[in-house]
Every structure is written in structure tokens, then in C-alpha cells.
Amino acid sequence: MNNLIATTAIKARQLTDEEIHEIEHEKTHYPYTQAVGLEALKIVQKYQGWVSDESLLAVSEYLNISPDELEGVATFFNMIFRRPVGKNVILLCDSVACWMLGCDSLKAHFTKTLGIDYGETTEDDLFTLIPVPCLGDCDKAPVMMIGRETYRNLTTDKIDEIIAEYRSKN
């Protein structure tokens, strides 16, 4: 179990009506409630931006799934953020094809230009950088995603353009 949850008196927050509505909808797709855990965490993250201990406990109580089990789901599925993230989460693929085509130097470029390492968020809360396994576009490596957008054949110049674009609209 998450140490914070295990050792402090954190209380579940109240799920919102929207969250409950969507979780109930997901329940209709699964034969038993336990299987809805991951979808419920995704729903909470969609509305809250990340999954706090309070949110995890709320889902745990609502679906009657132990916090341990949910924490395991959240840990296994690396798109569930257990810490606050920036407005734009940069998911940089670091699997084989992207690694062979220079994702390490792209990561170094992010660190140099944004001042963040993997798992960190810029001071203005605009960007969080996270490494992810294969995004399924290996023939166009290196690849990254921001939100629903996928960016392929990345170079440092292309990254500079993309970052400038996000800065201008945020």
C-alpha cells in the first residue's frame, strides 16, 4: 500500500456527480465491479488532473476494492498519475526503436530547454515529462504524445516548435 495512505489518516474525498455517473456507466461494460478499478481511476484523473490519495480512497470505497489493489493498478498502468502534473504531459517513448533513433538526446534537450527531468513539472506548471513504453509508431521514431496528439520523426528543432506552440496557446 502507498505509505502515505498506510501511515496517515487520509480521508476519501467525495466523488463528484460526473465521476459517479461515468463510473456507473463503465460498470455496465464489466461483469464484476472489481474490473472497473482502472477505468474509475482514469475517470477521476480526467476530472482532477491526477489521482491523489484522497481520490484513490474515494474510488476504493465506492467500488469496494481495497486501496492496495487500486494502488497496484495505478502503479502498473503508468498513465495514472499519482502526483500532480503540469497542464501538458509530454509522454516521450523510450522503447527500442525510439532509443535507437535518439530519444535520449531528445530527453536531454527537454531537460536543457524546460529544466525538467523525467517525472518533473516545469515551474509554470505547463509541462510534465514522462517516459513511456512503445507508442506503436516505431517506423516514425522518435515519437512522443502530448494529450491526444502524437508527434513523430522528432528532432530537437521540431520539439522547439511544438513547445513554442503549446506555450502560445496556454
Given the rule CB under 6 A, which residues bind ligand FES? 93, 95-98, 134-138, 141, 143
Q: Write the secondary structure of 7-73 as one string of H (helix), E (strand) and C (coil).
A: HCCCCCCCCCHHHHHHHHHHHCCCCCHHHHHHHHHHHHHHHHCCCCHHHHHHHHHHHCCCHHHHHHH
CB of 96 to ligand FES, least distance (A): 6
- Cβ proximity to ligand FES: between 58 and 135 the closer is 135
- Cβ proximity to ligand FES: between 79 and 134 the closer is 134
- Cβ proximity to ligand FES: between 4 and 96 the closer is 96
Amino acid symbol at 149: E
The half-sphere exposure of 17 on its side-chain side, counting CA atoms within 13 A, is 0
Burial label, 64 (beta-carbon count in 10 A; 0-12, 13-18, 19+)? exposed
CB of 77 to ligand FES, least distance (A): 18
- Alpha carbon separation from 139 to 103, 107, 136 (Å, rounded): 14, 19, 9
CB of 83 to ligand FES, least distance (A): 24
- Cβ proximity to ligand FES: between 38 and 138 the closer is 138
CB of 126 to ligand FES, least distance (A): 24
CB of 102 to ligand FES, least distance (A): 11
- Cβ proximity to ligand FES: between 73 and 135 the closer is 135
Q: Note whether 58 and 65 are within 8 A (CB).
A: no
Cα 157 to chain centroid, rounded? 25
